[in-house]
Structures are given as structure tokens and as C-alpha cells.
Amino acid sequence: MTLNEAAMRCADALANDAAAYRVAVRELDTTRLIDCGAAVPGGLEAGLQLARICMAGRANISLVPGEFGTSVQVISDDPVQACLASQYAGWQIKVGKYFAMGSGPMRAAYGKEEIFQHIPGHEAPPVAVGVLETRKEPDADVIAYLRERLPNSVQKLTLAYAPASSIAGTIQVVARALETALHKLHSLKFDLSKIVSGIGIAPLPPIAPQELQAIGWTNDAILYGGHVTLWVRAEDDEIALLGPQVPACASKDHGAPFAELFARYGDFYQIDPMLFSPAVIDFVNLSSGRRFRFGRMAPEVMTRSWGA
């Protein structure tokens, strides 16, 4: 089963029980739109299901007690496909004045991002499923833009969307702790085929009333409270050398809430990209039996970000 077909099962479950999830479904010819928190309340369960769609159903995602309160936990035995071929927000959707970050396995169907030159996952599925971080419903022009870039094999497209400043949107962003660790390792040229399994957990922040504030709070949850454990088969010396570069504290921008960094630079893309990783990362080396830990939690920064 392709990533998109697996994600479609998750999307069908969401759409088929829309009232219980407090989401809204709209059909436009062969495209289905699922509003998870823009013009509808959405909720915790909608957020968890949205995150499952993002990861093509290849992860167990739940709300659990954590060190800093209720947390989002992600467990995957196929983390490269779940996180980098699907969940990573690597497709910028720009159509006229419309803008949204595109996630989900429709990226694997598109397959034009540079990362697909280094990981498996590019596919020509019969359906495509995407997640958009936005409060604005995709219109006909946005749908046409996506349709033009997806393979001809795609017969039906599903787009689920929610802003970060919603319950569902906040959950699906915080569910990215594991993904940020894998993306950082990719940037550091680590062989991702050595990763066997992974767990990520990060605290659920308050739901911010404004979108930029929500983006900051959700990022801070991962940067300063996220904890990832990876089971790998590698050399101990390789882990010992690479490990200190992986957590967020390795960045020159570590220590300030995201909102302060954004105000400092005035542009998201001017913030050090090496900052975007979990606060703490553990490597469990299946080749040697050794465990390595790098990084540190920074609850004081989350307090500055979210308030007491």
C-alpha cells in the first residue's frame, strides 16, 4: 500500500465521523476538503487524526502525561517514510495571495523536493492526501495548482487543513518532534537507513489566539521541551561525534523564544535552520547495546514563551 493510500484511510475515518470530530467536509468534484479548525472547532481527536494523516498512518500518535504537562507522543517503526517522505512540511503552496505549508504524503506523489533524491518514498498513487497549515480554505486555483503537479495516476485528492492557532493545528505541529530530529540528521549527512525506530514527545502548549504566536509556541515546545529517542545500527564513534550537533542547543540561536527570534530577524528563513530540532535526543545503538544522550531541556524558555 502506498503512503497516500494509507493516509486516505485515516482521512476517510476523519470525514466519515465528521460530527464527532467537529470537522467539516466539502466535496468539489474529485477533491475533498476537510476543515479541522479554521471555520469549525475541531478538537483533540481531530488533531491526533490530522497528525496521523500527516504521517500516512505509519505512526502511533497519542496524548500522554509528560514532564511539562500533557504531551504529544509519536511512535514509529518506519520513521523515515512517516516523517520525511510524508510529514515534513516541505512543499510551499503559493498561488496568488494564497500561501500554506504543505505536508502529508501528497509530497511523495509530487516528488520534486530535493529530499526525495536521498530517501525512498516517491510514488505514483491512485489517490493523494495533503495537510495544509492555514485558516483559509483552498480554492479552485489552489486545487488546480496541486492537480497540475501531481501525477496523472491520482484520481482523488483530499486536503485537510487547520491553522496552528487551533486545537487540531497545534497538536499536528507539536507531533513533529521526531520529524525535526530526522530532518536535522539528514542535514548533518547521517545515513538515514541506519535508523530503525523512533519515539518523539513534546509538551502541548496553550492554544494561541494569533497565528504567529501559535507558530512560536508550538516551535518552542519542540525546541525546548521535545525529547526524541532513536534506535539505530551505527558505530559508537559516529554517534559520539555527530550527537552533540543534533539537539537544538547546538544552534547559535538557542535560548530565545521563537517569537523573539522572529522579531530579531524579521524573517523565518533568517533564523538558524540548525535550531529546529528537539531539546534532547537519545540514540540507542542496536549494534553495541550502548545508549547516548545529547542536549538539555529548557523549561525556563517555554515559561517565557507561554507565560506562567
Judge whether 78 lies within some domain.
Answer: no
Among all chains, which residue has been given the C-alpha cell 476543515? 35
Query: In this structure, are 216 and 284 located in the same domain?
Result: yes
Q: Are residues 209 and 298 in the same domain?
A: yes
The total number of structural domains in the chain stands at: 2
Q: In what order do the strands lie in the sheet with 127-133?
A: 24-28, 31-35, 156-162, 127-133, 98-103, 91-95
Strand-by-strand arrangement of the 69-76 sheet: 60-66, 69-76, 195-203, 227-232, 280-285, 291-295
Q: Report which of 241, 229, 237 is spatially closest to residue 196, judged by C-alpha positions.
A: 229
Same domain, 158 and 303: no
CATH number assigned to the domain comprising residue 142: 3.10.340.11
Whether 156 and 180 map to the same domain: the answer is no
Q: CA–CA distance from 227 to each of 153, 221, 240, 280 (Å)? A: 39, 10, 18, 5
Nine-digit cell string for 136: 483559509
Give the pLDDT confidence of 74-87 residue by residue, as tens digits: 999 999 999 999 99
Please name the helix (run of DSSP H) or strand (run of DSSP E) that holds residue 95, with its range, or none: strand 91-95
Looking at the fold, whether 208 and 123 belong to one and the same domain comes out as no
Task: Summarize pLDDT for 111-154 with one digit per residue, the tens.
Answer: 999 999 999 999 999 999 999 999 999 999 999 999 999 999 99
Average model confidence (pLDDT) across the chain: 97
239 in Cβ contact with 259 (< 8 Å): no
CA separation for the pair 50, 56 (Å, rounded): 10
Domain match, 200 and 118 both = no
DSSP state of 88: S
Cα(247)–Cα(25) distance, rounded to whole angstroms?
39
227-242 pLDDT, tens per residue?
999 999 999 999 999 9
Residue 111 structural domain? 1-45+86-163
The answer on 158 and 184 residing in a single domain is no
Residue 148 shares a structural domain with residue 182: no
Among 163, 195, 218, residue at a domain's last position: 163
* 98 and 24, same domain (yes or no): yes
Residue 77 in any domain: the answer is: no
Residues 152 and 290 in one domain: no
Residues 25-72: tens digit of each pLDDT? 999 999 999 999 999 999 999 999 999 999 999 999 999 999 999 999
Cβ contact 305:249 at 8 Å: no
Given a cut of 90, is residue 308 above it in pLDDT?
no
